[in-house]
């Protein structure tokens, strides 16, 4: 083992890093891992199958020199300063032509900076989003690399071997220039925020609005995963709802705090969408609701003073029709959320010169990743038919599906307002649909108001040019 030159190296042997290396070893690649914690380095070797070339170390120089040239190594450490610190610790031992990959959720401007900084030293730097969690890393994630296309060829056989497969096709591809990989992963996470919020709202409506208890709730989501809304997030929701708590004996979900946490990728998606002037209302609302969840004490006080929502006493026979409408509404909102995310990807690709192929993005999201869903094949086909499609809502098939399901969304919106149960992501999504298909919006009035109080000028529909009026 001491004389082995390893095919790939990993810096950071936490759950994700260790499992991804073990996945590579299972596919015949010799791998080496570096971690400052000797227990993690030892755990890597102990978990590997006997006889496979897998090595863990705490020595950076030994680690680098164990890799065959040009060296390829990945960082799986927390985003931010930890990435820069890890790079700095390795630089004395790296040589021109070596490839450094950031596999974490780094903010894309940081990746652009590192591409330039390491490029000046003759090093290739990649930002690569990885989705699928612990199980995905071990048995097949979706991976989103971007950077230098030629350098990617050194990595492609490894990544294609370990990635999730759909119809025999690996859920990894070279996405584009610079920070394209981290950017696509950021939007992936934004879509994830939106879909999770939509599922949570529908769960809440069934529980408080329809009076469903634990068993039928779990059954609904299990049944839904055999329908058009089949997806990883629907699948795990059914599994979550049937899990019992070892301490209380209740369903575990019922003893989990409603203060939701976040690591920032959803916020980054919303912030950058605003910079690009891309409407992203479902994701924006999902971020807002996580923020609002932190105001627990105030929400409890408001429930007392403003009249909280009282749960429905019991389910009734008419619930099945409403449950079917909820599934239809979720399908509509899920498609519209993907549509918003792909508009952001298209706009960013032009703004940042990524040269993204949106069909390829949809293709690698079909398996391995958190937002994998049956409808992504329809999305892939939409971009295969028209690579220049400006918005998925304009695809004939997806547009027809949205039109077919919109009545159920409106029915649920009416019910949720009557019952006072918050479903802000669903309401934002149907409003986005209605605004996008409106040939005329009332923003003419806003232009007039801006000109009235600030002389900001306006355009006319009957003449070209810029105009200002003395309104008073």
Catalytic residue among 40, 55, 185, 207: 185
Is residue 59 marked as binding?
no
Q: Which residues are CB-neighbours of 367 under 8 A, at least 6 positions away?
A: 140, 142, 164, 165, 166, 171
Which helix or strand (DSSP H or E) is residue 31 part of? Answer: strand 31-34
Whether 192 is a known active-site residue: answer yes
C-alpha to C-alpha distance for 77 and 104, rounded to whole angstroms:
6
Measured over the CA atoms of residue 246, residue 251, residue 256 and residue 260, the dihedral's sign is positive
8 A C-beta contact, residue 132 and residue 368: yes
Is 46 labeled as ligand-binding? no
Identify the H or E element spanning 436.
helix 424-436
Q: Are 203 and 251 in contact (CB under 8 A)?
A: no
Does 189 appear as a known binding residue? Answer: yes
Query: Which residue has tokens 């029915």?
Result: 411
Burial of 263 (0-12, 13-18, 19+ CB in 10 A): exposed
Q: Return the CA Rg of the chain.
A: 25
| 132 marked among binding-site residues | yes
Counting every residue written for the chain, the total comes to 472
Structure tokens at 246: 């070892």
How far are the Cα atoms of 160, 227, 335, 402 from residue 429, in angstroms, in the given order? Answer: 36, 21, 10, 11
Residue with the two structure tokens 């990959």: 101
Strand-pairing partners, residue 75, are: 11, 102
Give the active site residue among 40, 55, 192, 228: 192
Cα first-last separation, the chain: 85
Torsion-angle region of residue 34: left (phi > 0), alpha (psi -120 to 50) or beta?
beta
Confirm or deny that 27 is annotated as ligand binding: no
Asked if residue 290 belongs to a known ligand binding site, the reply is yes
- The verdict on whether residue 468 carries a ligand-binding annotation is no
Letter string b/e over residues 458-471, b meaning 16 or more CB atoms within 10 A of that residue's CB: beeeeeeeeeeeee
Which positions make up the binding site?
A: 105, 131-133, 188-189, 193, 263, 290, 450, 456
Catalytically active residues are 185, 192
Which positions make up the binding site for substrate?
A: 105, 131-133, 188-189, 193, 263, 290, 450, 456
């Amino acid at each position: 083992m001491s004389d082995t030159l390893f095919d790939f190296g990993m810096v950071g042997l936490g759950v994700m890093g260790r499992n991804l290396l073990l996945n590579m070893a299972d596919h015949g690649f010799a791998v080496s891992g570096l971690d400052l914690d000797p227990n993690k380095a030892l755990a890597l070797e102990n978990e590997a199958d006997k006889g496979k070339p897998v090595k863990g170390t705490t020595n950076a120089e030994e680690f680098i020199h164990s890799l065959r040239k040009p060296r390829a190594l990945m960082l799986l450490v927390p985003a931010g300063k930890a990435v820069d610190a890890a790079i700095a610790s390795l630089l004395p031992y790296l040589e021109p032509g070596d490839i450094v990959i950031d596999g974490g959720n780094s903010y894309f401007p940081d990746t652009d900076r590192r591409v330039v900084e390491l490029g000046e030293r003759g090093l290739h730097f990649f930002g690569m989003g990885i989705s699928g969690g612990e199980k995905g890393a071990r048995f097949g994630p979706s991976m989103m690399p971007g950077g230098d296309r030629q350098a990617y060829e050194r990595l492609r056989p490894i990544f294609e071997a370990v990635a999730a497969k759909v119809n025999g096709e690996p859920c990894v591809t070279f996405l584009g220039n610079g920070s394209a990989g981290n950017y696509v992963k950021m939007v992936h996470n934004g879509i994830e925020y939106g879909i999770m919020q939509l599922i949570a709202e529908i769960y809440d409506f069934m529980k408080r609005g329809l009076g469903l208890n634990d068993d039928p709730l779990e059954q609904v989501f299990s049944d839904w995963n055999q329908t058009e809304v089949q997806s990883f997030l629907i699948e795990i929701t059914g599994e979550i709802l049937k899990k019992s708590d070892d301490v209380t004996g209740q369903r575990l979900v019922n003893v989990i705090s409603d203060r939701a946490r976040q690591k920032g990728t959803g916020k980054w998606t919303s912030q950058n969408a605003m910079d690009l002037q891309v409407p992203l209302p479902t994701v924006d609302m999902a971020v807002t609701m996580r923020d609002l969840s932190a105001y627990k004490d105030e929400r409890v006080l408001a429930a007392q003073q403003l009249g909280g929502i009282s749960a429905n006493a019991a389910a009734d026979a008419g619930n099945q029709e409403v449950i079917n409408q909820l599934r239809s509404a979720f399908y509509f909102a899920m498609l519209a959320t993907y549509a918003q995310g792909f508009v952001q990807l298209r706009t960013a690709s032009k703004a940042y010169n990524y040269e993204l192929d949106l069909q390829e993005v949809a293709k690698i999201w079909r398996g391995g990743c958190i937002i994998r869903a049956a409808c992504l094949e329809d999305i892939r086909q939409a971009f295969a038919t028209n690579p220049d499609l400006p918005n998925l809502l304009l695809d004939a098939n997806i547009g027809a599906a949205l039109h077919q399901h919109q009545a159920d969304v409106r029915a649920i919106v009416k019910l949720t307002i009557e019952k006072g149960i918050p479903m802000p992501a669903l309401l934002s999504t149907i409003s986005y649909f209605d605004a996008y298909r409106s040939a005329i919006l009332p923003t003419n009035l806003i232009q007039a108001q801006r000109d009235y109080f600030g002389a900001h000028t306006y355009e006319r529909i009957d003449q070209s040019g810029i105009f200002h009026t003395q309104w008073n």
